[in-house]
Each structure stands twice: as structure tokens, then as C-alpha cells.
Structure 1
Amino acid sequence: MPQIDWPLEQLKTYRGKSPKPADWQAYWDRALKELEAADPACTYEKDPVTVPGVECGHLWFTGVGGARVHAQLMRPTGFAGPRPAVLLFHGYEGHSHDWYEKLPFAQSGIAVAALDVRGQAGLSQDTLQITGSTFRGHIVRGVDEQDPDKLFFRNVYLDTVQLARIVAGLEFVDESRMASVGFSQGGALAIACAALSGQMGRTVAGYPFLADFCRVRELDYPNPAYDELKLYFRLRDPRHEKENGFFERLGYLDTQWMAEKLTAPVLFYTGLADMICPPSCQFAVYNRITAPKRQVIYPDYGHELLPGAWQEILLWLLEWAAGGQTP
């Protein structure tokens, strides 16, 4: 198999090198209080798409900063009683995609809410106003602000929590059977949602993004997803005089610190040939999870569709929703 990172045995013990801010917990406690004070002002409208056994519609809510945020919502019909629910999160710069992709969940009796991340290719609004670089990518948005609450992904993480709370309150959803699922950026958001909301009974994270930024920069793989880290130093800090503060600030967003907060079972996917989200950064996240967990490794696969993964995810969640306890 290809080796683009450390050997597997070394990866299994790696716990990251990026710093965790001393006030990490206080930072997110403050953020959640801000969210508590926000009126989500939810609205819902049906979509013209008609699918047997499923109602398709659009959920809108107001997130922090006043942005109107969109999620696709699929309600299973023809089932008795409240249904389990899956919150789906998409990859970087993407959107919630077609209804078709979510049908296996919805037609199996699982409600689906798929978030459009602010400022990316979906319908959600981005209202963040900052100084500093907005040339490429969202990771560094707000990193130069005096106020750490101006980080772009802080608002996105809070959107995942808001969505979880809204879905939990729907009359057709069983709030005790909710799961968060995603790959890449979606994997990071699935973990953040579970960590910050405390409402997820299961989490699926595939090759999560936004993890161990120092290691990402050290490896310097040629890829567009993390290119903005290199550009930040080239364009705004060519002598790396602000490097320590830069990585300290990004520590509020680092998926590995979110992973420490997980309490419910986690299914985790890793490709050892991944040159977008490096294997060592993925293991930095996985190795900090103390909840029941299982990692599925694809030695020859990178940042791509992993054969059999989505079928496994569906069956795992269906077993759990029906009362199974397999981690």
C-alpha cells in the first residue's frame, strides 16, 4: 500500500501537535449562550419533488449574526410514531446535493436534515464581516480579528447545534435517536455537532477536515482545501512573526478538541492515501475520542468515495434506531 504519512503503528498513537487554547471550554460556553439568546425564526416550505414515502422540503432558520440558514428536510411518511433522524453535513465549498442521495435513509424511516454551510455553494446566507484575508477559503476568515468570536467556522459550528435543536423539536422526530454524519468538512461538522449539542446518539465521521492545523502545514501537501494556510503566511505574515498566535486561534476550531467531548458511539473512516486531510491529522482526532468507537481503514484510498461505506453507515444506523447497541 502507498505510504504518504507515518507508518500505521505510529499513526495509532499520534495525538496531534496543534495547541489547544487555555480558554477553549469558556470560548464555546460563551458561544452556546449567544446561541441560546437567538430566535431561530424557523420556516418550512414543501419542495415540488414528490417521492413515494417521503415528504421533501426546505427548512430555514436564523443563526448567529442574523444569517438565514437553509437545510433540506426529508420526512418519512407511512410510519407510526416519531422517527429517528440523521443530520447530514457536506464537504468543503459544497452544498446539500440532490434529494436522491438521501432517499435510502428517508425511505427506510429515518428523517433527514442536510445543512447548507454558510458562504458555500448552497442556499444559506453568510453575514460575517471581518478585516483581513478573504481571498481564498474560510479557515482563516476572522483569524486576524481582535475578537476570537469572529472566526467564520465558529458560526458554522453553532449552525449545526441550532439545526440539531430544531430537528429534535419536530413532532415527527424521536430526539433520543438522532445521529450526525459527514465526510471531510462534513466529518468535522458531524463531530462538532455531537460535541457541542450533546444530542447525538451516534456520529459518523469520514476523513474529517479542520484538524491538527500545525501538522497540515508541516506536511504541505499540494491541495486546494488547505492552501489558504500557506497563502496566509505568504501574503500576511511572510516572516511567521504571528505564527504561534495564528495556530492558537485556529485551535478553537480544531476537530481533535471537539472529539474529546464525544460521549456516544462513533464510526470513523480513514483512507491512508489521503492527501487532502492527511492520515496523521485524522488519527489525531480519532485517538482523542474516548467514547465507544470503531475506525474503518482503507489502505489504498484517499479523499474519495469509499466502497461500501455508505451502505455500512445506513445499516449501522438502522440497527441502532431499531434498538441495537453495536458500537
Structure 2
Amino acid sequence: MNKLQSKEMLAMPPAVDLSLEQLRVYKPELTKQDDFDDFWEESIKESKKYPINGELIPYDYPVKEVKVYNAYYNGFKGARINGWYILPLEADKNNKVPVLIHYHGYTGDKGYIQEYLKWVIQGYAVFAVNVRGQGGQTPDPAIYSQGGITGWMTLGILDKYEYYYRNVYMDCVRAVDFVCEKEEIDTEKIGILGASQGGGLTIAVAALDKRPKFAMPVFPYLCHFKRAMEMYQEGPYREFFEYFRRFDPEMKTEDKVFQTLSYFDGMNLATKITCPVLMAITLRDVICPPSTMFAAYNHMTCAKELKIYPHHGHEALPFHDEAMIEFARRFMK
């Protein structure tokens, strides 16, 4: 094997999905229902009925160059959403700062304060939101008319109005409402980001709210559900298989399940995004198959950039931070 052949092999994508050449042009047919836009307009209108009732509780953090708060606001249908709200020391109504809203991965939480200091030292505020019912301090008060598999993917799966992620997507949009009420925030400079589930939520918020100036999803989950289940190897897409095994072994409700999911599919939502997007995709990802992420990216018509990491999977990408820092500065400074 000569050096050229060796280099070519290193550049090749791993065999967990389609070839990179195929992925770059992978653009499956959308699964949008006829009332897709009406459904989301109705959901947003309903969401606006609830006052935010934002609350900030000071948190004693040993780094005195930042101000830290346990934040609370009313999410969809009054759910009380928790998160970290972190500010540069100089931020106030006379010195407004840009803000980054961070959404976390499946089963996770708002994380540790030090994770966000890399942004705060640059002059950004950060709002890290806990997803309802998962690993943080935000309960899920919603009532579902049927049972589901352990986890959250199948809660309310037979009714688009009842489905768990309708609540979550609206909670995440209302995080934008929360920061826009803050006098120290420059509301013309809002960015959104997250990885895995957080990446899927970033796509959803960018699609449903025009206030964010850019979005940075990292290996986004919740995209192209049909393909994700066909390609399933590891991760929470397993919940759908367990749902059918336990409640519907003949899969009589399969069409209804995928109809519900179509409203929450990042591939369908991606078509509504108008702000610039920086997406990261890893080609060894067996939790969020690369083709599902390319399906969303390739349907975006906004200004967009893509970082591809051929030899990484569903894992931390600390080196990608530099790309995000550079991208954010274009819109925030």
C-alpha cells in the first residue's frame, strides 16, 4: 500500500451508513402532512397564552467574574422550566449582551456551569435549559391518555396534539421568550445550539421562531424518523421497537405513529429555517445515523455550513468548539 492509497482510505467514511458521496446528495421525500404549518402556527398561538413568569434565583458560584442564576419560566401549558442563566459581570440594561440558548441531549440536563464559561468570557450570556421530565429539575406535568415505553419517545405517540415533543418544542421556543424579557440582553443577537437531542431541538426552534440569528446543531437527533428506525443500532430509537413489541406486535398503528412523528421530524422542520446554520455531522454515529442528519441538512434552503468528522461517532467534539466560536462571532459581534 502506497502513501496515497493510505491517505485515501483514511478519508473514506466508515461503513455505518451510505457513502459520503451518497450522503451529500441524500434528499428523501418530505413527510409533511397538509396541515403541518397550521399545526405549528396553532401550537405557537396556544403557547403565547401563558405568561412567562420568569424568576431568577442567585447562585453562589466561586468564579466571581460571572453572575449565575437558577432560572425558571413557564413553558407550554404552564410547565415550570428550569435552567442556568449565566451572565458576564458587566451585563446590565446599559450594557446589553448577546445570548446563547443551549439545549441538552436525551436523558441529560442543563449541565455544569463551567461548561459555559468559554462563552461567557467572550461576552455572551448563556441560558442552558432543562428539558421537561428528563435528567434535570424540570418536571413534566403533562397528562398522556395512553401508556408508553420507559423514556419519552412514545409518550402520546398516537396524537400529534398530545405527543411529548410538542410540549418540549414549545418549551424551547419559550426559552427565547424568556431571554427577550431580560433588559440586559441584546435581543437582536440570539444564538441557539445543542448536540444530539439538543441539536434536534435547535433545528426545531430555528424553524419555529425567527428571532434566533443563527443555529448550531451538532449531530442532531429527531431527524428522518423512518430512516432512523431502519438504521437503528443503538440509542433511544429503540423505544419505538419496544412500543410495537409490547403494545402493537402486528404494527396496526404504524401509519398513525409515523404520521404523528412527521410533525416533529427535523427533516420537515428544516425547510422552515431562514437563519444561518452551522451543522456538525459525524460519520461513525450509530445513534443518529448520518443519513438522517444529511436528510435535514440537505433540505435546508437557508445559508448553511457543514463540518464533517469521518472518524468520530456520537461523542464529545471539543475541537468543534473553535468552528462554533468563529461562526457565532460573525453574527454576535
Q: 1:118 and 2:132 equivalent?
A: yes
Show the counterpart of 1:168: 180
Show the counterpart of 1:237: 248
Q: Give the superposition deviation at 1:248.
A: 0.8
Show the counterpart of 2:111: 97
SS in 2 for 1:267: strand
Q: In the alignment, is the contact (CA less than 8 A) between 1:205 and 1:267 conserved in 2?
A: yes
**More divergent stretch after superposition (71-80 vs 262-271):** 71-80
Q: In the alignment, is the contact (CA less than 8 A) between 2:50 and 2:77 conserved in 1?
A: no
Show the counterpart of 1:325: none
Instruction: Letter of the 1:29 partner, please give it.
Output: E
Show the counterpart of 1:296: 307
**More divergent stretch after superposition (41-50 vs 270-279):** 41-50
Cα distance in 2, alignment partners of residues 114 and 220 from structure 1: 29
Q: In the alignment, is the contact (CA less than 8 A) between 1:75 and 1:112 conserved in 2?
A: yes
Q: Give the superposition deviation at 1:19.
A: 2.2
5 Å-filtered alignment, 1:159-238, equals 159-221=171-233, 223-238=234-249
Choose 1 or 2 for highest CA Rg. Answer: 2
Structure 1 gaps of 5+ residues are 323-327
Q: 1:69 and 2:86 equivalent?
A: no
Show the counterpart of 1:155: 167
SS in 2 for 1:95: coil
Q: In the alignment, is the contact (CA less than 8 A) between 1:194 and 1:262 conserved in 2?
A: yes
Cα distance in 2, alignment partners of residues 103 and 39 from structure 1: 30
Find 2:148's aligned residue among 125, 134, 157: 134
Q: Give the superposition deviation at 1:306.
A: 1.9
Q: 1:108 to 1:171 in 2, by over 3 A?
A: same
Cα distance in 2, alignment partners of residues 220 and 160 from structure 1: 27
Structure 2 gaps of 5+ residues are 1-11
Q: 1:14 and 2:26 equivalent?
A: yes
RMSD of aligned Cα (Å) = 1.4
Q: Give the superposition deviation at 1:307.
A: 4.3
Which deviations, in whole Å up to 9, do the C-alpha atoms of 1:66-125 show, x marking residues without a partner?
211111100112256211100001100100111000001112100000000000011112
Show the counterpart of 1:33: 45
Q: In the alignment, is the contact (CA less than 8 A) between 1:24 and 1:252 conserved in 2?
A: yes
**More divergent stretch after superposition (240-249 vs 10-19):** 10-19
Q: In the alignment, is the contact (CA less than 8 A) between 1:195 and 1:261 conserved in 2?
A: yes
Cα distance in 2, alignment partners of residues 316 and 203 from structure 1: 10
Cα distance in 2, alignment partners of residues 293 and 120 from structure 1: 31
**More divergent stretch after superposition (313-322 vs 116-125):** 313-322
Cα distance in 2, alignment partners of residues 110 and 275 from structure 1: 33
Q: Give the superposition deviation at 1:241.
A: 1.5
Q: Percentage identity across aligned positions?
A: 32
TM-score with structure 2 setting the length: 0.92
Q: In the alignment, is the contact (CA less than 8 A) between 2:23 and 2:290 conserved in 1?
A: yes
TM-score with structure 1 setting the length: 0.94
Cα distance in 1, alignment partners of residues 34 and 63 from structure 2: 50
Q: In the alignment, is the contact (CA less than 8 A) between 2:213 and 2:331 conserved in 1?
A: no
Q: Give the superposition deviation at 1:18.
A: 6.4
